[in-house]
Structure 1
Amino acid sequence: MELTTQQLNESIYDATNALLFEEDYLHIKNAIDQLHVLFSGATGVKAGNITDEDIYLPNGKAVSTIKAAHCLKELERTRRFIRGINQAIEHLSDTIQGRTLNILYAGCGPYATLLTPLTPRFTSAQINFILLDINSDSLAAARGLYEQLGLSEYVIDYVCTDATTYRFPHNVQTDMVISETMLNALRKEPQVAIMNNLIPQMRKDAIFIPEQIIVEAVLTRWKEEYNSFTIKDYQPKRINLGEVYCASREFKLPHPVVIQVPASETHNRLDLFTEITVFGREVLTTYNCSLTLPLAICKLENQKKDMAITFEYVMSDKPRFAYKY
């Protein structure tokens, strides 16, 4: 039996409440599955076998429509972003009163995953969206989703363009920008280039999501990491070497950083760790999702003395932290 628009939105509301307030992962998984069934049914885009192509840009790749749909299925990633964005909207609602909040979602994908679940919680008089994606198939799917769900009144515009060059419209006050266009250690995808373009255009009281991205250099040992997966509450012993980069609302492009690496007889793998603060206390830490998996840089075999490694961020079609020692 086909659901009415009201029933669809009630189903989204129930699933969103589970993401916002439940701690039981079975309930959270069921909520994610429920959203996927609704969104894929409305758009025809299913997070199944990836048969489409990424789009390669001067500042990094934009993922394919099906890959973008898959992002919904990462439980901790989705729920932390949904919780953080919900809190950010509530914060702005308390500080900016008397008008509609305008949110730019750069890289919205086919489901506008990080905003659509929140539509039953806020009216279109409270929040409006500009949905932006360089992938025309993804943007068309998002438009179709909003039309089928009866949510078109939330959307100011659908924009098919590169977020690294997009300019804010003069007739819209932008209160929040969301861009989750990254992989672990800020490689391959254009998150840094997008922040470099969009954040300078934002008003001082506007919020960028995620609030902060930290990349750190860490010496690890396989046995310690393995124990953290197999032994309950085990805290792996690591050697933290320092911050390689921090991206935040006070945005600055990465500059070369020299990291001092002590000689170690036990820890022989140099990794980059990523921590993402969505908003407030909503933080994604190591192993929470694909965005925070440690990125192995190199093995330091038979290291008898301290050494220095220089990290430099490469802004190119394949953005990444390059290193030399």
Structure 2
Amino acid sequence: MRDLWQTRPKLRILYIGTGPYATLLMPLLVMGGTSALERVDLVEVNPSSARMLQTCLDLLELDQRRIHLYAADFMSWETPHRYDLIICEVMAAALVREPQMAVVKKARGLLSPGGVLIPERISLFWGLSNQNREPRWPSGMSRVPPARYQWTHLGDLSAAETPPTTVELEVKRAHCEGQELTLFTEVQVYGEEVLQDAESMIVNTVCVFSDFRAYPCRLRLHYVEGPRPGWTAEPIRSGEGNCLRGK
């Protein structure tokens, strides 16, 4: 917000998926007030969370002439406004479970020129790894560092980019034993603030395939969009497709 205020006297903010306390924004509203804000729109799909957030706004006596709370599904919610800052809560690693990709696609169309989307970038990688040795939040780093093979950038989700939803992979058979096809997530929140291994639930690893003994080592990785998105992996028969080879 401080960076945006250097070029804009008043900000318009959209916060998608606030939960009951809007934790990424509420402390700033309480400490800094709302005088330098033109408009703040809060969108929360869960009715009970929206009610709790309204209670918080009332108790804190925040200026609700500028702050507007909507108990609505963002994907069907409409607004004529454009925003200088849009905050999207990232709920799970590797863009699974919550419709994060669909939300970001819609949200970036609501940015004003030069506006900022938080998080700035979600980067996805694939590789082979043993899940039992991978660092996880909240337990932290494993005592035995994981061996990661064929670490390869899959794509980015940001205000300007969308990762591919279907990718064909060639897995080296020498690396398959005891390993699983794993998705890794790195989240650039803003600027130099980056979440990596075991620093948050949203960067935990996700296993998408493990039975290499029964299938060829050429796989088609596909992202299924919808209310409960996730990844699938299926074998590619000999002679099909063009594969992305890992390192």
Residues 180-208 of structure 1: per-residue CA shift (max 9 Å, x gap): 14311111111111112121232231111
SS in 2 for 1:270: strand
Residues 123-142 of structure 1: CA deviation (Å, up to 9, x unaligned): 31123421111222211211
Whether 1:118 aligns to 2:49 is no
Q: Which sections of structure 2, spanning at least 5 residues, go unmatched?
A: 236-247
Aligned length: 229
Task: Please give the residue correspondences for 1:136-285 in structure 2 after superposition, counting only pairs within 5 Å.
Answer: 136-153=47-64, 155-170=66-81, 173-221=82-130, 224-225=133-134, 228-230=141-143, 235-252=145-162, 254-263=164-173, 264=175, 268-285=179-196
Q: Deviations over 1:222-256 (max 9, x none)?
A: 5753795226xxx5331144233310110436331
Matched-pair contact (CA < 8 Å) for 2:133–2:142: no
% same residue: 26
Inter-partner Cα distance in structure 1 for 2:12 and 2:50: 18
Structure 1 residue 211, shift from structure 2 partner: 0.5
1:91 aligns with 2:10: no
**What one-letter code is carried by the residue in structure 2 that aligns with 1:230?**
R
Task: Identify if the C-alpha distance between structure 1 residues 265 and 219 changes in structure 2 by more than 3 Å, giving closer, same or farther.
Answer: closer
CA contact (8 A) 2:44 2:73 kept: yes
User: What CA distance in whole angstroms lies between the structure 2 residues aligned with 1:216 and 1:304?
Assistant: 22
- TM-score, normalised to structure 2, is 0.82
Give the alignment's Cα RMSD to 1 decimal: 2.5
- Structure number with the higher helix fraction is 1
158 and 268 in structure 1: CA distance in 2 versus 1, 3 angstrom threshold:
same
Q: 1:187 to 1:225 in 2, by over 3 A?
A: closer
Separation in structure 1 between the aligned mates of residue 215 and residue 59 of structure 2, nearest angstrom? 64
Maintained 8 Å contact 1:211/1:277: yes
The aligned counterpart of 1:103 is 13
Contact 2:176 2:212 in 1 (8 A): no
Quote the residue 1:39 is aligned against.
Answer: none
Q: In structure 2, how many angstroms separate the alpha carbons of the residues matched to 1:313 and 1:298? A: 13
The TM-score with structure 1 as length reference comes to 0.64
Q: CA deviation at 1:177?
A: 0.8
- SS of the residue corresponding to residue 103 of structure 2 reads helix
Q: Give unmatched runs, 5+ long, in structure 1.
A: 1-88
